[in-house]
């Protein structure tokens, strides 16, 4: 059985180590435990984020490195397993969940108690069960054959988008919301910090999305497009991406009444001229991981423009450019965030606040 491990100090260093499966599985399961074999997992740029935040957000606790791995990969101080979202099939069980049950996502092992609640949510058993499953499972192919192609495709999309789709929904509906009569707007961190109805109001704002072609940004755009331009705003939605052509048809397909435009990174410097005639009362920049220097260039373009320099600007930081960063670079990025006044968004914190 092969295990992919990543260096905790240098995330670009990784290896595949072999674990003796027979030796590993001969150990009996503890009470209230199941053994699960992956059926489908999603690997994307988010997994790099999980590695980068492995220590700060305790992501390395999700799947502790097995002690049975060969040296040096069994050293949990130096090596970790990057978590991934997906589905698995129960092969053994010490619970009421029967072997052959398909499971999604998270669970609440003792090692995961410091993880965010979005990961440690109590698992929900899927309705799909395979009572003849125990006839033998040895390969990915035989696992996949348990699910028809249409269902497997649906599961693939769920695995890819379900975790990040929440970010766009929560940001659009609970942090930037015009419905303040039935619920209070929630601070981007989801904690008890001031976030007034005025902070949440983007009805007269221009909203700018950086790294707009990424899936988290696309989820946010989808929810933006379903707003009522006349009542909820924004008055204009600008998406900045290296591939704006991928975004241009979406508003038309959805039939939104939100005015929108998609532009390339090399046109960021002219954004102020695009915004000038709209007379916005506010500019909201949502950074989903824009290219290095883009945010600073955009801010400079706005602040130096005679008609926009005094317009209130709010900057929400959702993610960083997908690179491997050193500890010093991460520290520098945090200092830059403070300098420009970025407010960090925390999907888990906002989600917890909404539930509460």
Tens of pLDDT, residues 100-126: 888 886 777 777 888 888 877 643 443
Contact (CB, 8 A) for 70 and 7 = no
Choose the weakest-confidence range: 54-58, 200-204, 208-212, 216-220. Answer: 54-58
Structure tokens of 274?
Answer: 């695009």
Q: What is the pLDDT of residue 38?
A: 85
Contact (CB, 8 A) for 74 and 67 = yes
Residue 145: pLDDT band (50, 70, 90) is low
What is 260-292 written as a DSSP string?
EEEE-GGGGGGHHHHHHTT--SEEEEEESSPPT
Q: What is the pLDDT of residue 127?
A: 40
For residues 254-273, one letter each, b for 16 or more C-beta atoms within 10 angstroms of the residue's C-beta and e for the rest, the string is eebebebebbebeebeebbe
Over the stretch 18-48, which tens digit does the pLDDT of each residue have? Answer: 988 777 677 778 888 888 888 888 888 888 8
Q: What are phi and psi of 43, to 5 degrees?
A: -115, 120
Predicted TM-score (pTM) of the model is 0.85
Q: What is the pLDDT of residue 133?
A: 37
What percentage of the chain has pLDDT greater than the value 90?
A: 41
Contact (CB, 8 A) for 286 and 316 = yes
CATH 1.10.10 fits 163-355, yes or no: no
Every domain of the chain with CATH number 3.40.50 lies at 163-355
What gap in Å lies between CA 315 and CA 340, rounded to an integer?
Answer: 8
Q: Write the Ramachandran bin of 279: left for phi over 0, alpha for psi from -120 to 50, otherwise beta.
A: left
Structure tokens of 348?
Answer: 């888990």
Q: What is the pLDDT of residue 310?
A: 87
What gap in Å lies between CA 237 and CA 205, rounded to an integer?
Answer: 9
Contact (CB, 8 A) for 346 and 188 = yes
Three-state SS letters, 168-204: HHHHHHHHCCCCCCCCCCCCCCCCCCCCCHHHHCCCC
Report the mean per-residue pLDDT for the chain.
85
């Amino acid at each position: 059985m092969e295990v992919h491990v990543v260096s905790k100090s240098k995330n670009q260093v990784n290896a595949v180590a072999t674990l003796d499966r027979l030796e590993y599985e001969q150990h009996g399961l503890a009470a209230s435990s199941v053994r699960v074999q992956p059926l489908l997992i999603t690997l994307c740029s988010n997994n790099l984020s999980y590695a980068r935040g492995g220590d700060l957000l305790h992501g390395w606790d999700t799947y502790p490195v097995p002690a049975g791995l060969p040296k040096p990969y069994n050293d949990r101080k130096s090596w970790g397993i990057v978590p991934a979202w997906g589905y698995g099939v129960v092969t053994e069980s010490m619970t009421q969940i029967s072997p052959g049950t398909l499971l999604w996502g998270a669970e609440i092992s003792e090692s995961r108690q410091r993880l965010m609640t979005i990961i440690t949510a109590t698992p929900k058993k899927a309705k799909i069960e395979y009572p003849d499953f125990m006839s033998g499972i040895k390969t990915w192919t035989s696992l996949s054959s348990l699910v028809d192609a249409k269902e497997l495709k649906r599961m693939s999309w769920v695995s890819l988008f379900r975790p990040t789709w929440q970010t766009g929904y929560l940001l659009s509906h609970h942090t930037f919301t015009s419905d303040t009569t039935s619920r209070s707007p929630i601070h981007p961190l989801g904690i008890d910090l001031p976030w007034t109805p005025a902070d949440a109001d983007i009805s007269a704002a221009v909203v700018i999305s950086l790294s707009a072609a990424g899936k988290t940004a696309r989820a946010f755009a989808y929810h933006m497009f379903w707003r009522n331009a006349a009542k909820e705003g924004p008055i204009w939605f600008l998406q900045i991406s290296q591939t704006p052509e991928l975004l241009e048809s979406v508003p038309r397909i959805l039939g939104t009444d939100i005015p929108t435009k998609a532009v390339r990174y090399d046109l960021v410097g002219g954004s102020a001229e695009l915004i000038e005639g709209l007379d916005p009362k506010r500019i909201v920049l949502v950074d989903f991981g824009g290219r290095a220097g883009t945010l600073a260039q955009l801010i400079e373009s706005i602040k130096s423009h005679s008609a926009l320099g005094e317009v209130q600007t709010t900057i929400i930081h959702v993610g960083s450019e997908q690179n491997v960063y050193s500890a010093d670079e991460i520290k520098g990025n945090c200092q830059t965030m403070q300098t420009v006044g970025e407010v960090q968004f925390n999907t888990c914190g906002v989600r917890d606040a909404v539930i509460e």
